[in-house]
Amino acid sequence: MIERLAIVGVGLIGGSLALALRRAGIVREVVGCGRGVANLELARARGIIDSYTTDPAAAVAGADMVVIGATLAASAAVFAAIAPALEAGAVITDVGSTKASVVAAGRAALGAGFSAFVPGHPIAGTEHSGAGAAFAELYDHHKVILTPLPETDRQALARVRAMWDATGATVVEMSVEMHDAVLAATSHLPHLLAYALVDLLAGRADADDVFAYAAGGFRDFTRIASSSPRMWTEIVLANKAALLDVSRAYAERLTALIAALERDDGATLEAVFTRAKSARDACSVPEANVRR
Amino acid sequence: MIERLAIVGVGLIGGSLALALRRAGIVREVVGCGRGVANLELARARGIIDSYTTDPAAAVAGADMVVIGATLAASAAVFAAIAPALEAGAVITDVGSTKASVVAAGRAALGAGFSAFVPGHPIAGTEHSGAGAAFAELYDHHKVILTPLPETDRQALARVRAMWDATGATVVEMSVEMHDAVLAATSHLPHLLAYALVDLLAGRADADDVFAYAAGGFRDFTRIASSSPRMWTEIVLANKAALLDVSRAYAERLTALIAALERDDGATLEAVFTRAKSARDACSVPEANVRR
């Protein structure tokens, strides 16, 4: 049982976590914290949180579990603000889309208390954001990645695991480096590609027609280009090294495909398409949960 | 009323057209034609066609409406095979994903009869193929693009329009060139991008993990990479000129985005992401219809 849960940043991710834990009946009290009072009011009205404050230090006072749901850019400031106010024995975790940058911020701010920080990342989301978009089923049948470090307290890790288990998610552990490489390939690069495509087409003289006659495949392909520009700028910058690696490899691959098209090399094109279809058909990525 | 409809190539597109016309009650008899007897048997068993033949000339004998649902690569051969057997007054249309290549094939084979050919392309589909994937609702609330030429007979155009209207689709007309440019941008390029991404990731040493931890956004983004490799090889080759134009522009744009990331230029990244989100949110592309 979590006696007092502090959520710093009550958006889609943090808000849905609170709703899932309430559904599971394993949290007694939830305190929300953020900079936007309107969003916090909405979270309270929706029953996501019991009370709120705009002061991170006040939010974590008395909390046995602290979830940092703030943006990546705000993480360092949040760690610094809560560090002096954390209770002895409190466990801290986060939901950031990149892990190396958050780990560095946590290590710098928490000092000896860093062992109580369990870096985490739920692999779930929609293109919507804010407390209004939160729903209890977001994590059902989805994965949550935890990236504990050698110095991470095993007890703290077990408590964060138990919390996510209660949301309906499956918890897996991997290294910080592997997390950042996998997410660069499967999430950050696709976002970059989709944003680049929509921006390119939007700038055409025939943009209206282009979008008017687009088919369902285009809609699916570009859905992620509706995600928050600010949040995604922070994510790609925070995971710069891993994302540059995979982006450069992708650009080379694309250039090779364009060259194959240029020389009418159907054999190469069909070989690439065939390998891709086999891999895509073999992978069982879950559908995104949507609000019912 | 269509007295006798000949469908050469009874796949997802041609098969769904027959089912939609039957639903509307405006077709008396449907003859199927193709190279695969198993697929034709399935089409007959599912009530898509009344009878079938593997000979295109036999299929179009007595038909007042001929729909070429064959692959792009087979189009020229189909036109040549049916040309001598077409009834006087018969109308011919097709469903090919590119139009310049099909128009060239039709013009070459049909001679004076070319005026009875109305090039068409329904903007609907799923990643599945074959008669087994066909369903009557595929075209509901979707667009069908017709690209009539100066020499196209107005009566023939009116009959093809009426046929598609009866399927629940909305018919629009545009030039061959505009069709091919729009489809290159919104369909052919996205397929190339998705195939390239999945193939790149499938070749990694950590491919299993990459796919295992991919989120819902990746699933949507790469769904089109499950499409038929053979069909898509034909499509990209058939629309080479338009696709090369937009692909090169895209590769440049991507290179610029990667350069912005490299120099930590958050302002440029956020500006691109913001423009893309605005354009994506403003466009109302219909969801793909799926079989109920």
Which stretches of chain A drop beneath a pLDDT of 50? Answer: 292
Q: Which residues of B touch A142 (CB under 8 A)?
A: 215
Q: Specify the pLDDT at position B285.
A: 55
User: Per-residue pLDDT tens for B77-111?
Assistant: 999 999 999 999 999 999 999 999 999 999 999 99
- As a whole number of angstroms, the distance between CA B134 and CA B40 comes to 12
Q: Specify the pLDDT at position A284.
A: 62
Q: How confident is the model at residue B292 (pLDDT cuts 50, 70, 90)?
A: very low
Q: Looking at this predicted complex, what is its ipTM?
A: 0.86
- As a whole number of angstroms, the distance between CA A143 and CA B34 comes to 45
Beta B120-123 vs B143-146: how paired, if at all?
A: antiparallel
Contact across the interface for A197 and B190, Cβ inside 8 Å: yes
Strand ranges inside chain B, DSSP E:
2-8, 27-33, 51-53, 65-68, 91-94, 117-118, 120-123, 143-146, 170-173
Q: How confident is the model at residue B217 (pLDDT cuts 50, 70, 90)?
A: confident
User: Per-residue pLDDT tens for B162-196?
Assistant: 999 999 999 999 999 999 999 999 999 999 999 99
Mutate to test the interface with B, among A12, A141, A186 (most CBs of B within 10 A): A186
Q: Specify the pLDDT at position B214.
A: 81
Q: What angle do CA A37, A114, A8 make, to 5 degrees?
A: 10
Which of B171 and B209 is assigned the larger pLDDT? B171
- As a whole number of angstroms, the distance between CA A210 and CA B133 comes to 27
B238: number of Cβ within 10 Å: 25
pTM of the model: 0.87
User: Per-residue pLDDT tens for B219-255?
Assistant: 888 888 988 899 999 999 999 999 999 999 999 999 9
Length of chain B: 292
Average pLDDT over residues B190-213: 91
DSSP category for residue A113? G
Q: Which residues contact A38 (CB under 8 A, 6 or more apart)?
A: none
Contact across the interface for B226 and A280, Cβ inside 8 Å: yes
Do residues A108 and A79 make contact, with C-beta atoms less than 8 angstroms apart?
yes
Pick from A185, A197, A234: which is nearest to B210 by CB? A185
Q: Specify the pLDDT at position A285.
A: 55
Q: How far is CA B104 from the centre of its chain?
A: 17
Contact across the interface for A269 and B218, Cβ inside 8 Å: no
Percent of chain A that is helix, strand, coil (3-state, to 5): 55, 15, 30
The average confidence (pLDDT) of chain B is 94
Predicted confidence (pLDDT) at residue B14 exceeds the cutoff of 60:
yes
Do residues B43 and B131 make contact, with C-beta atoms less than 8 angstroms apart?
yes
Do residues B129 and B226 make contact, with C-beta atoms less than 8 angstroms apart?
no
Q: Specify the pLDDT at position B103.
A: 97
* 3-state secondary structure (DSSP) of residue B181: helix
A264: number of Cβ within 10 Å: 10
What percentage of residues in chain B have a pLDDT greater than 90? 84
Contact across the interface for A213 and B269, Cβ inside 8 Å: no
Length of chain A: 292
